[in-house]
């Protein structure tokens, strides 16, 4: 009997996520496979939807535009933060900083540029606005 991935399946698979230029970001094909619980937020929802309906043993590859991947790069998520509102530590451009929101939740931002008075922080996902390639092979469904 053929097993087919369902929206709530526990799936064992090999997968690769790469930039449009082929630069790999994640690649399990060269090591142990991943086991992911669909619907639990372990994988981007748009990537999970590509897995649903696929049979065990099949390999697929997709090119995803930003809207179907990590979303468009949003200018409203890039903001200038005054140094007095930042930690007293050495901060360099292109480093990731963690911030705490008033409700206690934590989020990260990329320091695009910094000077003595302020820093330009990008709160977009690092892959926002980028076309990605997603390739996978379903090994098993538990």
Q: Quick: pLDDT tens for 7-35.
A: 999 999 999 999 999 999 999 999 999 99
Q: What is the pLDDT of residue 1?
A: 66
Structural domain boundaries, residue 109:
75-122
Average pLDDT, the chain: 93
Pair (99, 56) in one structural domain:
no
Pair (89, 23) in one structural domain:
no
Q: Indicate if the alpha-carbon torsion angle 74, 76, 82, 86 is positive or negative.
A: negative
The answer to whether 38 and 50 have CB atoms below 8 angstroms apart is no
In order of 35, 48, 55, 122, the CA distances from 62 in angstroms are 20, 12, 16, 27
Pair (66, 134) in one structural domain:
yes
What are the beta bridge partners of residue 19? Answer: 132
Matching residue, tokens 């007293």: 88
- Residues shown for the chain: 142
84 pLDDT higher than 90: no
Pair (64, 134) in one structural domain:
yes
Q: For residue range 37-76, what is the model confidence (pLDDT) as tens digits?
A: 999 999 889 999 999 999 999 999 999 999 988 999 999 9
Single pTM value for the model: 0.76
Q: What distance in Å separates the CA atoms of residue 80 and residue 28, rounded to the nearest whole number?
A: 37
């Amino acid at each position: 009997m053929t097993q087919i991935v369902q929206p709530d399946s526990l799936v064992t698979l090999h997968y690769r996520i790469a930039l449009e230029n082929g630069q790999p970001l994640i690649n399990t094909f060269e090591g142990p496979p991943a086991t992911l619980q669909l619907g639990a937020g372990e994988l981007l929802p748009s990537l999970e939807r590509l897995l649903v309906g696929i049979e065990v043993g099949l390999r697929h590859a997709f090119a995803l535009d930003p809207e179907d991947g990590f979303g468009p790069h949003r200018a409203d998520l890039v903001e200038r933060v005054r140094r007095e509102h930042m930690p007293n530590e050495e901060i360099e451009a292109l480093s990731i900083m963690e911030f705490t929101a008033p409700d206690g939740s934590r989020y990260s931002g990329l320091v695009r540029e910094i000077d003595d008075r302020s820093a330009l922080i990008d709160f977009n996902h690092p892959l926002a606005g980028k076309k990605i390639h997603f390739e996978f092979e379903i090994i098993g469904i538990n």
